[in-house]
Amino acid sequence: MKDLIIIGASGFGREVAWLVERINRQEQAWNLLGFMDDNDSMQHESVDGYEVIGKTDDADKYPDAYFVCAVGASKIRERIIEKIKSQRPGAKFATLIDPSVEMSELVSIGEGSIICAHTIITVNIEIGSHVIINLDCTVGHDAVLEDFVTLYPSVNVSGATRLCKGSELGTGTQIIQGKAIGSNAIVGAGSVVVKDIPDNCTAVGIPAKPIKFSE
């Protein structure tokens, strides 16, 4: 078994711990050492039976452990990963896939990605590093999900779409075939994307339209 530390002890972190338990019921793959969280009040607390063993500054104390970041916000997740890489050159990141996920062999997945229960991923799909695909999502043929993309629960991504780096799709979002979501764009829950969404914007509605831009 490989030692594993989950970064982030909030709600999604607890769900990832459950995902690890589900993996281990199929095959004893991970020895979950506990959580890391930068919240002072959580240090050494027990979270669903696992201890918060430190902050991200403590990553170098665990040279043999794998890490996985269970922080939903894409920009924050990217900052955390870059911090750990700077502290621990050669740091190892776990890719976690729930046993219930249906996925062809024609899918590539980068390090540190998390794919949650009851998701379906079909064929000829590229998933980057540190991507989160939450519960009950679908990803269609020839889709590309770049690094640090986040899909919240029940997102439907149609075929030949491109989700650019750091984009976030809110719960229940639907994207029709062949569209692109720009880098660091956020699509609000329940939106339907029928046109490309530009970089660095928040888009909402049916159909989804940008309502504000950020740098």
CB 104 within 8 A of CB 120: no
Give the contacts of 40 (CB within 8 A, at least 6 positions apart).
none
DSSP string, 61-81: G-TT-EEEE---SHHHHHHHH
Active site positions, annotated: 141
Q: How far apart are CA 209 and CA 39, in angstroms?
A: 35
Burial class (CB in 10 A: 0-12, 13-18, 19+), 110: middle
